[in-house]
């Protein structure tokens, strides 16, 4: 079996394992896999009660990643995330008490419930996979990944994430309500069940280990990205800066992340090369949180997704 085929088989096992507990979130799980294999983070936005937290727990269990969770609140402080050096009276020395960020898959639950000062505590961790406490840098796991959730911005008591932090998320994925058949399956599957909904209820087991994930990520990083596809990625990102419908476009980091994500998507489909359709499929999730609507577009009631879709249609893809 080729390396790419092994990546595809691993992804299929993880998807099937998560599917034992999660109904109707195949696209979300695929994006999570792409983010994991390309070294990215994911922002999930949606109303309460659509299984965002359960999805993160099940994904961690299926991938074999150590799971940590922070419930973001208005009074949360940066030290509550990173940890602190505390004085030990028995040894008369300071010792590091590590915060919940020292894990592999961190669920930043309702991240927009806390002020920007505390949100910013994650910036270094997201970009450098390290944190600095009292001037000393501490590395995080090579597999460190954040799944952040947030309520829609129009809800009361929230703090919109700063652009600098949004730019560090590979994807922003918007979750809606399940359709009628999916909702019935969820209700029927959990009716009469005692206890909380956790991966243990469905007997989820790890389908990967550190070595398998490292090998899969290395395979993804080595996939072919033709010059024509690179040009297409750059043209698409630059188009967001040139349209009058957007007051601010996507960054160069967005282009780099989109290219890396396209490699992972190709591997999940069993290919060792990237095609323009990989880029097209991922572009909305990569770009929607990195652009700012112009005043005219807001007045017209246009959405970022609609403008991005128009740019994808207008930007010529290589054949």
CATH of 3-176+205-216, picked from 3.40.50.300, 2.60.120.10, 3.30.565.10, 3.40.50.2300, is 3.40.50.300
CA distance 39 to 212: 15
Buried b (16+ CB within 10 A) or exposed e, 275-288: bbebbbbbbbbbbb
Query: At 155, is the pLDDT very low, low, confident or very high (cuts 50, 70, 90)?
Result: low
| Strand-pair partners of 145 | 105
**CATH code, 223-314:** 1.10.8.80
What are the residue boundaries of the structural domains of the chain, listed by start? 3-176+205-216, 223-314
Percent of the chain with pLDDT over 70: 97
| Res 194 pLDDT > 60 | no
Lowest mean pLDDT: which of 151-155, 185-189, 215-219?
151-155
For CA atoms 242, 245, 246, 247, the dihedral sign is positive
Q: Which pLDDT does position 287 carry in this prediction?
A: 97
């Amino acid at each position: 079996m080729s390396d790419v085929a092994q990546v595809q088989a691993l992804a299929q096992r993880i998807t099937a394992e998560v599917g034992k507990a999660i109904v109707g979130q195949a696209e979300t799980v695929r994006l999570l896999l792409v983010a994991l294999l390309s070294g990215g983070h994911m922002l999930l936005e949606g109303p309460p009660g659509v299984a965002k937290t359960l999805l993160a727990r099940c994904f961690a269990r299926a991938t074999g990643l150590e799971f940590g969770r922070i419930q973001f609140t208005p009074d949360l402080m940066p030290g509550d995330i990173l940890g602190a050096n505390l004085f030990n009276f028995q040894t008369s020395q300071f010792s590091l008490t590590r915060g919940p960020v020292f894990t592999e898959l961190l669920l930043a639950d309702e991240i927009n419930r806390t002020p920007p000062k505390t949100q910013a505590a994650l910036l270094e961790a997201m970009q450098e996979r390290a944190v600095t406490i009292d001037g000393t840098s501490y590395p995080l796991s090579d597999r460190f990944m954040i799944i952040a959730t947030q309520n829609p911005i129009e809800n009361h008591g929230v703090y919109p994430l700063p652009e600098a932090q949004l730019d560090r998320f590979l994807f922003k994925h918007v979750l809606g309500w399940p359709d009628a058949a999916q909702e019935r399956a969820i209700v029927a599957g959990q009716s009469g069940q005692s206890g909380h909904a956790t991966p243990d209820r469905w007997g989820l087991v790890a389908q990967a280990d550190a070595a398998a994930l490292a090998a899969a990520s290395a395979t993804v990083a080595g996939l072919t990205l033709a010059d024509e596809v690179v040009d297409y990625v750059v043209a698409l990102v630059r188009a967001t800066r040139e349209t009058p419908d957007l007051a601010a476009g996507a960054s160069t980091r967005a282009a780099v992340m989109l290219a890396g994500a396209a490699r992972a998507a190709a591997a999940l489909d069993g290919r060792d090369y990237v095609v323009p359709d990989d880029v097209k499929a991922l572009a909305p999730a990569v770009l929607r949180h990195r652009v700012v609507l112009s005043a005219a577009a807001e007045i017209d009631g246009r959405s970022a997704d609609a403008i991005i879709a128009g740019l994808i249609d207008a930007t010529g893809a290589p054949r």
